[in-house]
Structure 1
Amino acid sequence: METALTRLVGVRHPIVQTGMGWVAGPRLVSATANAGALGILASATMSVDRLREAVREVRSRTDAPFGVNLRADAADAGDRVRVIVEEGVRVASFALAPSPGLIAELKEAGVVVISTVGARRHAEKVAAWGADAVIVQGGEGGGHTGEVATTVLLPQVVDAVRIPVVAAGGFFDGRGLVAALAYGAAGVAMGTRFLLTSDSTVPDAVKARYLAATVRDVTVTTAVDGLPHRMLRTDLVESLENATRARALVQAVRRAAAFRKLSGLTWRRMLQDGRALKHGKDLTWSQVLLAANTPMLLRASMVDGRTDLGVMASGQVAGVIEDLPSCAELVERILAEAGEAVAALTATTATTTTTTS
């Protein structure tokens, strides 16, 4: 299935596996790439040296194109961009809008720049700055999310920009892919669906919690870091929502120290990232510090398997996913379902035309 996305990044199928922290590691990314989709390596939870190692590990497992996701506002973003360029990574993906200078540096090196957006004006901005494509995430998506549903946000962005648009938030099967293409998108991006594959390194006990969830078990909370965050509702989430500010702050300091040691960041760098996070958002410094909770709370679940101590970012689609296929099986299934959906639409159109004539 060829689209503007497949032509842009060189993959066979218009499907993207998003860069989920602690989840989108070398094994998942390479499995996705070998299945013909675009796998994106999550770098925000890695040190710069570990990022280079991870890129080389992916390269050892696949010859197919893949990408790296990074925070544009991170103090060491320039170092990470150099790794991407030096290691010949095909795609640089950003959760926040990269600066015009960063986009220019990457494009000059032949790297495709894709920025994730949650509003039409953000898409227009990064397109004007030179981004090659945008991923549009509606409110159904997991992790940090907005309030506008994909079915409303997607056509707005498609009409506003002249670069490939990838739809995210609420996609998990071939019918969704066909619907996104009908809206004018060039493909779909999925996080939770790829998390729930046999190639994902997320512990089995955590995957079981996702599979057992209903749509009503997925909630949006600001208790973790002060920003709207979609995740599975658990006893821990409820305790965070009910915790006093002082208690939450003490816990945040401890987890910030643990993340600093794990990531290799200095306190100075973490404070610089905190300032960048605070900029343009209605957050207090206490909330910025609470944001240091997020990497360690996610790691507790996604790496250590402690669903009692960690949070589980999740799209609403967790409530309708029931199995753990391999990435190859998943991509093959989505394409088959898409073909069936198109055939059904064609048959319906033909029947309607015959009847009316």
Structure 2
Amino acid sequence: MRTRLTDLLGCPHPVVQTGMGFVSDAALVAATSAAGGFGIIASAAMSLDELRATIRQVRQRTDAPFGVNVRADLPDSAERIDLLITEQVRLASFALAPSRDLIRRCQDGGVLTMPSVGARRHAEKVTAWGVDAVLVQGGEGGGHTGPVPTTLLLPQVVDAVDVPVVAAGGFFDGRGLVAALAYGASGIAMGTRFLLTSDSPVSAEVKAHYLAASVTDTVVTTRVDGVPHRVLRTPFVRALEDAGPVSGLVRSVRHAQAFRRQTGLSWAALLGAARATRRGRGLSWAQTVMAANTPALLRTSMAQGRPEAGVMPAGQVAGLITDLPSCAELIDRIVKEADDRLAALSSAR
């Protein structure tokens, strides 16, 4: 299925696996790209050396193209882009708004860019800087999300920009791919659906929590890191929401220290990133400290397999997923379903 996205990324199918912290590792990314989709490494909680090693591990498993998600507010984001350039990674995606300088750095080094956006104005801003594609996530999506559903946000962005648009938030099958193409997108991106595959590194216990969820078992909360975050509704998340400001601040400082050790950043670098985040996202100082919760809480659930003590980002689509196929089986299924649906529409016409 050839689209502007497949032409841009060099993959056979317009299906992107998003960069999920402690989930999108070398094995999942390689399995996605080898199956004809486009895998993206989640690098935010990795040191530079860990990211370099992960890139090379993907290359050892497949010669298919892949990308890396870069957190734009980290103090070493420029060094990470330089690493992508050196390693000749196809694409840099950005979960948080990148600076114009980072986009230009990628352009000069031959790395494609694809920021995630949650509003039309954001898409217009980054395309004016020369990005190669935009990923549009509607409010149904997991992790950081906005209030506008995909069915309303996607047509706004498609009408506003002239680069390939990737639709995210609520997609899990071939019907969704056809719907996104009908709206004018060039492909779809999925997080929760790829998390729930046999190639995902997440433990069986954590996957069981996702598979047991209904479409109403997620909640959008600001108590994880200060901004709206869609996660599975669990007793731990309810405790976060019920916690007072003092206990929440103490917990955040403790998690900030854990994140510092995980990434190898100094306290000065971490505070510098916090200040940049506060300016860029309009957060209070309390919210800024809370933002350090995310990596530590994600690591607890996703990497350590302790759902009772961490948070689990989840799109509402988790309530529609009932199995754990391999990435190859999933992508083959999506493409076949899309072909069948397109054929049925053509026949009806």
TM-score range, shorter chain: over 0.9
Give the letter aligned to residue 41 of structure 1. I
- Cα distance in 1 for residues equivalent to 2:178 and 2:254: 46
In the other structure, the counterpart of 2:253 is 253
Give the letter aligned to residue 196 of structure 2. L
Task: From the CA coordinates, give the structure whose radius of gyration is larger.
Answer: 1
Summarize deviations over 1:51-102 as a string: whole Å, max 9, x none: 1111111111110000000011211001101110011101111112222222
Deviation at residue 106 of structure 1 after TM alignment: 1.0
**Pair 1:59-2:26 in alignment:** no
Q: Percent of counterpart pairs with the same letter?
A: 62
The gaps in structure 1 that reach 5 residues or longer are 350-357
SS of residue matched to 1:216 = coil
In the other structure, the counterpart of 2:44 is 44
The gaps in structure 2 that reach 5 residues or longer are none
- Cα distance in 2 for residues equivalent to 1:319 and 1:115: 27
Summarize deviations over 1:295-316 as a string: whole Å, max 9, x none: 1111111011111100000001
| 1:37-186 alignment, distance < 5 Å | 37-186=37-186
- Cα distance in 1 for residues equivalent to 2:53 and 2:183: 39
Deviation at residue 348 of structure 1 after TM alignment: 2.1
Give the letter aligned to residue 303 of structure 2. V
- Cα distance in 1 for residues equivalent to 2:223 and 2:101: 34
Over the aligned positions, Cα root-mean-square deviation in angstroms equals 0.8
1:11–1:37 Cα contact (<8 Å) kept? yes
Give the letter aligned to residue 320 of structure 2. V
SS of residue matched to 1:279 = helix
- Cα distance in 2 for residues equivalent to 1:69 and 1:13: 20
Summarize deviations over 1:195-250 as a string: whole Å, max 9, x none: 00000000000000000000111111111111100010000000000011101111
1:113–1:133 Cα contact (<8 Å) kept? yes
In the other structure, the counterpart of 2:267 is 267
Give the letter aligned to residue 250 of structure 1. V
1:26–1:55 Cα contact (<8 Å) kept? yes
In the other structure, the counterpart of 2:13 is 13
SS of residue matched to 2:220 = strand
- Cα distance in 2 for residues equivalent to 1:136 and 1:276: 24
- Paired residues in the alignment total 349
Q: Name which of structure 1's ranges 162-171 and 103-112 shifts more when overlaid on structure 2.
A: 103-112
1:218–1:319 Cα contact (<8 Å) kept? no
- Cα distance in 2 for residues equivalent to 1:276 and 1:344: 51
Deviation at residue 16 of structure 1 after TM alignment: 0.3
1:6–1:13 Cα contact (<8 Å) kept? yes
- Cα distance in 1 for residues equivalent to 2:136 and 2:262: 31
In the other structure, the counterpart of 2:35 is 35
- Cα distance in 2 for residues equivalent to 1:298 and 1:96: 17
Give the letter aligned to residue 332 of structure 2. E
Give the letter aligned to residue 325 of structure 1. P
SS of residue matched to 2:277 = helix
Q: TM-score, normalised by structure 1?
A: 0.96
Q: Name which of structure 1's ranges 248-257 and 179-188 shifts more when overlaid on structure 2.
A: 248-257
- Cα distance in 2 for residues equivalent to 1:108 and 1:257: 35
- Cα distance in 1 for residues equivalent to 2:343 and 2:41: 34
Summarize deviations over 1:162-196 as a string: whole Å, max 9, x none: 00000000000000000000000000000000000
Q: TM-score, normalised by structure 2?
A: 0.99
- Cα distance in 1 for residues equivalent to 2:236 and 2:100: 40
Summarize deviations over 1:23-72 as a string: whole Å, max 9, x none: 00100000001001110000001011111111111111110000000011
